[in-house]
Structure 1
C-alpha cells in the first residue's frame, strides 16, 4: 500500500463505492451465512431429493447477491465543507452527517483480494465509539488515499468559510519516523510468542472436534507409552532418555519460533511509521496491508517493554493507548508505534512525540527495598497450593515444586530493586520488572482520575498505592500505579497531582 500521487483528489459532488464493492460485500455476508447455507445443502440431500430444498442454497446465495447489489446502488457519500454526508438504503433510508472534527482515524485495510483489485476498505473512526462512524466497502486505492488525506487536512485545520472546493487535497509531505527491515521483523518473531497463540488455537480446535475428554486422555496416554516403549527398546538409560526429552522440547520450541517468525513477517512486513500534518500513520502487512493513523494529541499513555529476549537482541517495543474507539483486540487499531527497535530509537521516538517532556527521566525515585517480600508473598500461596495438589496426586515427588520458592524470592528481591517512579510538572512515569522490564508513563494532563488505595495490609504497615487512570488503557499493559509507598509520601503525591489537574482544568 503506497501513497497516491499528490494530484489525485476527491472531486466534489456525490460518489459511489467502487464498482466491485458488491463482490466484497457478498463475500463478507457469505462468511456470516456459510454455516446456514451448508446446513440447508446437506439437509436437503439427506431428506427428499426432489423439491425446492435442493435449490435452497442457491436461493440463499441469490438473495445475498441481490442485497450486495442493492447496497452498491443505494450507497452514496458527499464531501462537504465541514464533513462527510452518507446516504444509504432503499425502503429504509438513512443519512449520516459526520463532521471532519469528529473523525479521529481513517483506517485503510487491504486483504490479498483487495490488492488484486486495487481497492481498500475504509473505516472512519471517532473517539469512544465501539463501531466506526462509517465503513466503506470498498473504494479504489487512489480514491481511498485521497479521502484519507482530505479528512486529515480538514480535521487538523479550521474550515475556511470562503472555500467550498472539496477537491483540494494537500501534497503528501510525510517523513518516516521508523521503518522495519526484514531482519528486524525476523527478530520480532524470535522475541515474540505468536507461535504459541496459533498452537493454543489449534489445541482449541482439536478440543472442539473431539470433545470427549476420555478419548483425548487415552490418546495422550497411548502416545506416551509408545514413546516410553521405544526409548526402552533402545536401552538409552535415564541419561539418554532425559537427553531425548530435552531434544524433543528443543524441537518443539524451535518450531514455535519458526511459526512466530512466519506470523511476524505476515503481519509486520513493510512496517513504516510516518508523520504527516500532525498525524502518525502506520502501514504494515505482507499479504493483507493495513494503514491506520492517529493524532499525537490522542495518545493517552505509553508502554515500553524489554523482555529477556529483547535484551539479548538489544531491542525494546513501544506501545500506546489512544482515545479512539474500537475493540481492544481490533488488529486495525493503532497500538504499536515500534513493535521492535533499539532502546535509543524508542527513547528518541517518545521524546519527539512528547515535546517539552524529558524522556527518559533523569532521576527515578526508588521504592522501599523491603517491599520485595510483598512481591514474593503475592505468588507464594499459589506455589504452595500447586505443591499440595501435586503431592496428593504424585506423592513426595510433587514437593519438588517448592524448589521454585527460593528462585521466586530472589526474583522478587531483584524486582523490588527496579521499582521506581518519576513525577514532574509534565510527566508521570512508573517502572518495574526484572526478568521482563517495563516502563509505563503518561502526560499529567492526560490523567483522567486519581485514586489512593489502602488494603488492610497497607493500613497495618503504613503504606498506600496511588492509581492513575487514563483513557483507552489497554488490558494487556501494566496499570499506571505506584505501589508500596509510605502513606505520607503517597498522600503528598496525591495532593500534588490533584491540585495540578484541578488548576489546569479551571484554565480550560
Structure 2
C-alpha cells in the first residue's frame, strides 16, 4: 500500500487549489486541463518511489533511487544526527510509519522512507542510535530513562497558555487568500457585515443605553477569547497528548500526538542553545516552557524537529532537566549583571512616534478626543522601566546567558563551547549614547525565537566581553 501514501502526499499540495477550482470555478472546461499536469506529477512521483531501495551496511546506510536517472548514496551512521518517526492517522491504521534521517546543517533529509512497518521504523531508529553513538568497548548500552511525561491535565494547561487557536485561524485565512483571492477579498467582509447586522438588530430590540452596549461588547470579547482558548486547548491535545521525553544513552527521544504520532531522536551534543520562557498565564499557573535549538532544525515547525524538551512544566521540573542535561550549569546561581538604569528610555522611545501618529490620525475622526491616545505614553514608560530592570547577562566558565522581558519573560543561554560567531553592532543612536549590542550566534538558531544578544552595553564593556569570548573561541580545537 505504499503507493497510497505517496499519492496522498503528492495531492496535499494540490488539494486546496483543486477544491477552489471545482467549487468557485467559472465552469470553463479549460480550467480542468491543469488536472492532467497534476496526474503526470503524481504518476512520476509514484514511479520514482517504486524504484526506491535502501540497505544497511556495517557502518553506513545505502539508498538507491531512480530508474533512468539513478542515484546511489552511502550515508555513514555517524553523520545521521536526527531520526524522526512520524505517523498520521492513515499510518496508524495500517501499522506503518514515515522515517526521516537528517544530518547537521542540511535543510533536506539525508534519507526519507515514506512507508515502513512500525517495527522496522523503530528498529532502524535503534540501529542508528547504536551505530552512531556506540558505547565504549566493554560498556553496555544504557537503558532508556523517562525524563518528563505530560499527563492530560498538563496538556490542557499548555493549550490554555498558548495562542494556537489564533494562529490556526490566521493561517487559514492566509491560505485562503493565496488559493482563492476572490474569496479572501469578498467573503470575510460580507460575513462580518451580515453578522454585525444580525447582532445589532438583536441588540437594538432591547433598547439598551450606552452602558448596556459596552457590556454587550465586553461579553462578546470574552466569548471570543474563550472560544479561541478552547480551540487552542483542542490543538494542544492533538499535538502533545502523551508527550514523553526519554534519554537513550547520549540521545534524547521525544514522542507525542493523539491522532498522528511524532517521534524524534537527536544526540544531546547537538543541542546548541536553551530558552526558558514564561508568560503571564505561565506565572499564574506556576509553569514554564523549556525549548532548545538543535543543529539543522532552524525554523522548522512541521513537528519533526526536537525543539521543546518541556512544552510546559513546573519550574523545579525545568531546573531538573537543565541540571540533568547540562551538568554544572547552575542557572539559579549565576551572577546577573544589569544594564545601566538610563537604558529604559531606549525601550520607551519606539512607542513615541507610533502614539503621535495614532493621535494625529484620530484627530480627523474624533477631534480633540484624539489626545486620549497620549494616555498610552505613561504606561509605555512604566513598561519600559520594568523591562529595563529585567534585562541582564551572566557569564561564567561554562556558559553565557541573557534574560529579557517583563510581561513575557525569557532566559536564553548557551555553552561557550557551542558559540559559532560574535558580532558587535552600533546604530547611530548607539554611537550617540556610547553603547553597543553584542550578538552571540550558535548553530541551529531560528529567526523566530528570541535572540541571544546583549543590548545597550557601554561600548568599552561590550568590547571587553567580545575579546574575552573571542579568546575562548580561539582556544577551541577544530572539529572536522
The 3 A distance-change label for structure 1 pair 54 and 128 is closer
- Show the counterpart of 2:153: 183
Contact 1:372 1:416 in 2 (8 A): yes
Hey, what's the Cα distance between the residues in 1 that align with 2:16 and 2:389? 55
| Cα shift readout 1:89-141 (whole Å, capped 9, x = no counterpart) | 22222111111111001110000010011100010101111110111011100
- Contact kept, 8 Å, 1:283 with 1:291, in 2: the verdict is yes
Is the 1:298–1:324 Cα contact (8 Å) retained in structure 2? no
Provide the residue aligned with 2:166 in structure 1. Answer: 196
Query: Paired residue for 2:46, among 50, 53, 68?
Result: 68
Is it true that 1:385 corresponds to 2:362 in the alignment?
no
The residue number in structure 2 matching 1:25 is 6
The answer as to whether partners of 2:297 and 2:306 remain within 8 angstroms in 1 is no
The 3 A distance-change label for structure 1 pair 400 and 205 is: farther
Alpha-carbon distance change, 103 to 247 in structure 1, aligned in 2, over 3 angstroms: same
Q: Pick from 434, 452, 468: which aligns with 2:406? A: 434
Deviation (angstroms), 1:219 = 5.3
Tell me if structure 2 keeps the 8 A contact 1:189–1:262. yes
TM-aligned CA deviation for residue 222 of structure 1:
5.4
Pair 1:468-2:440 in alignment: yes
Provide the rounded CA distance (Å) in 1 between the counterparts of 2:157 and 2:166.
Answer: 16
Normalised TM-score (structure 1)? 0.85
Partner of 2:224: 252
- Structure 2 gaps of 5+ residues are none
**Relative to structure 1, is the Cα distance of residues 305 and 39 closer, same or farther in structure 2, using a 3 angstrom cutoff?**
closer
Matches within 5 A, 1:130-145: 130-145=107-122
**Structure 2 partner of 1:423:** 395
Partner of 2:379: 407
User: RMSD of the TM alignment (CA)?
Assistant: 3.1
Match of 2:205 in 1: 233
Cross-structure match for 2:457: 485
Matches within 5 A, 1:10-49: 20-32=1-13
Q: Distance between the aligned counterparts of 1:406 and 1:304, measured in 2?
A: 30
Compute the TM-score of the two structures, normalised by the length of structure 2.
0.90
Answer whether contact 1:23 1:68 (CA < 8 A) is retained. Answer: no
Post-superposition offset of 1:452: 1.7
Give the Cα separation in 2 of the matches to 1:87 and 1:215. 49
- 1:455 CA displacement: 2.0
Pairing of 1:100-119 with structure 2 (within 5 A): 100-119=77-96
Task: Report if aligned partners of 1:131, 1:326 keep a CA contact under 8 Å in 2.
Answer: no
Local SS of the residue matching 2:275: strand
Shift of 1:406: 0.9
1:152 aligns with 2:129: yes
- CA contact 1:301–1:322 (8 Å) conserved in 2: yes
Shift of residue 57, structure 1, vs aligned partner = 6.7
- Extract unaligned runs of 5+ from structure 1: 1-19, 161-169
Change (3 A) 1:190 1:37: closer
Q: Residues 201-230 of structure 1, C-alpha deviation per residue, up to 9 Å, x if partnerless?
A: 344456546457577556545543543343
Give deviations 1:341-400, integer Å, cap 9, x for gaps: 011111111121112322233321111122111111122222222222232344334433
Bigger shift: residues 226-235 or 216-225 = 216-225
User: What's the CA shift string for 1:464-508, capped at 9, x where partnerless?
Assistant: 221111111122222111111122221211111111211224799
Segment of structure 1 superposing worse, 120-129 or 466-475: 466-475
- d(CA) in 1 for partners of 2:327 and 2:120? 34
2-structure distance, mates of 1:56, 1:453: 51
| Contact residue 242 and residue 257 of structure 2 kept, 8 A | yes
For residue 449 of structure 1, report the CA deviation from its aligned partner.
1.1
Given the superposition, is the C-alpha separation of residues 158 and 190 from structure 1 closer, same or farther in structure 2, using an over 3 Å criterion?
Answer: closer
Aligned length: 474
Residues 93 and 373 of structure 1: CA distance in aligned 2, closer, same or farther (over 3 Å)? same
